[in-house]
Amino acid sequence: MKNMTLKLLIWRQKDANSPGEMVPYTVENVSPHMSFLEMLDVLNEKIIKEGGDPIEFDNDCREGICGMCSLVINGIPHGTQHRTATCQLHMRHFKDGDTITIEPFRAKPFPVIKDLAVDRSAFDRIIAKGGYISVNTGSAPDANSIPISKEAADLAMDAAECIGCGACVAACPNASAALFVGAKISQYTFLPQGKPEAKRRALRMIEQMDAEGFGNCSNHGECEAVCPKEISILNIARMRREFLKAAIR
């Protein structure tokens, strides 16, 4: 494969309080082996050399696990490749001459900080309300004292894989955080350690999710389709079950 020239339409916004707009750029000599973020690096280097203001985008691990990248590429959070965070999306999936639009994750609880960087601290505030098992350091019994079936451990892990990127919110037509919250609540439903505070966890996390201003889940399932970890919306069903149990009891 040879190198490509791409046209980009990128959301530029000076800061949280300024209006933004889509700005066109051209980037040349894009190797198909580059990752999407490396392509943006190349563009930024060019912008800097030309005396411009480089595009801000959040990123950190660049191996698909930290969840910091937050780009909507051609209308899909993290782009068209399934099970892939933006940083692991490679340019070999694009063609020479393509036009690519890049926008930030958009939701009321995810305000733009600058350009493509958004504030996702709403997720931290939700976790603070119950995304854990309340156990102090030092008080744990032997790790093998409570057997947990392999199936349960695997299901807990499926839910626990969430990287907290917020693509689920970004893709949801309603900007709902149900998959993120559902995954965390779900993880603990499979583990005996999670049971004692299940009720409190579900109620408090959902209350905080609402307080942040995320929308209702209408079961479109877009979240699952863009999730880099393919977290199933069955976890949302589990969250609702936990909520019902908590509300009834």
Partner 1 sequence: MASKPYDTTFLTTVGKKIVMAITGLFLVIFVVEHMLGNLFFLVGADAYNEYSHKLLSLGPLLWAIEIVLLAAFVFHAFYGISITLYNKSARPEKYKQLRSAGKPSRKTISSTTMIYTGLILLIFLVIHLKSFKYGTYYSTVVNGVEMRDLHRLMVEKFSTPLYTFGYVAVMILLGFHLRHGFWSAFQSLGANHPRYSAGIYTLGVFIAIILAIGFVAVPLWIYFTQ
Partner 2 sequence: MSQSNSKLDSKIPDGPLDKKWETHKNNIKVVSPANKRKHTIIVVGTGLAGASASASLAELGYNVKTFCIQDSPRRAHSIAAQGGINAAKNYQNDNDSVFRLFYDTIKGGDYRAREANVYRLAELSANIIDQCVAQGVPFAREYGGLLANRSFGGVLVSRTFYARGQTGQQLLLGAYGAMMRQVDLGKVEMYPRREMLDVIVVDGKARGIVVRNLITGAVERYAADAVILATGGYGNLYYLSTNAKNSNATAIWRAYKRGAYFANPCFVQIHPTCIPVSGDYQSKLTLMSESLRNDGRVWVPKKKGDNRPPNEIPEEERDYYLERRYPSYGNLVPRDVASRNAKYVCDEGRGVGETGLAVYLDFSDAIRRLGEDYIRDKYGNLFEMYERITGEDPYKTPMKIYPAVHYTMGGLWVDYNLMSTIPGLYVLGEANFSDHGANRLGASALMQGLADGYFIIPYTIGDYLANTDLPPVSTEEKAFEESEKEIQEFVKRLLSVKGKKTVMEFHRELGMIMWNKVGMSRNAKGLQEALSDIPALREEFWKNVNVPGDEKHLNKNLEFAGRVADFLELGELVAMDALQREESCGGHFREEYATPDGEALRNDEKFSFVAAWQYKGEGKKPELVREDLKFEYVKPTQRSYK
Query: Which helix or strand (DSSP H or E) is residue 183 part of?
Result: helix 178-189
Which of the listed partners (partner 1, partner 2, none) does 141 bind, with a CB threshold of 5 to 8 Å by partner kind? partner 2
Provide the β-strand partners of residue 25. Answer: 8
47's CB contacts (< 8 A; 6+ apart) are 25, 53, 54, 55
Nearer Cβ to partner 1 (46/240):
240
Q: Which region, judged by CB under 8 A, interacts with partner 2, from 120-128, 167-175, 212-220, 238-246? A: 120-128
Torsion of CA 28, 29, 34, 38, to 10 degrees: -50
Which of 19, 97, 141, 173 binds partner 2 (CB under 8 A)? It is 141
99-104 vs 4-13, strand pairing mode: parallel
Does 200 interact with partner 1 (rule: CB under 8 A)? yes
Secondary structure (3-state) at 63: coil
User: What would the x/- binding string for partner 2 be over residues 206 to 235, using CB under 8 A?
Assistant: ------------------------------
141: left (phi over 0), alpha (psi -120 to 50) or beta: beta
Among 71-79, 160-168, 170-178, 219-227, which window interacts with partner 2 (CB under 8 A)?
Answer: 160-168
In the complex with partner 1, the residue whose CB is nearer, 29 or 99, is 99
Told to check if 127 binds partner 1 by CB under 8 A, we report no
What phi-psi label fits residue 212: left (phi over 0), alpha (psi between -120 and 50 degrees) or beta? alpha
What does 219 bind: partner 2, partner 1, none (CB cut-off 5 to 8 Å by kind)?
A: partner 1
Query: What is the sign, positive or negative, of the torsion defined by CA atoms of 226, 228, 230, 233?
Result: negative
Query: Smallest distance from the beta carbon of 216 to partner 2, in angstroms?
Result: 24
Q: Does 22 bind partner 1 (CB under 8 A)?
A: yes
Q: Which of 46, 56, 113, 215 binds partner 1 (CB under 8 A)?
A: 215
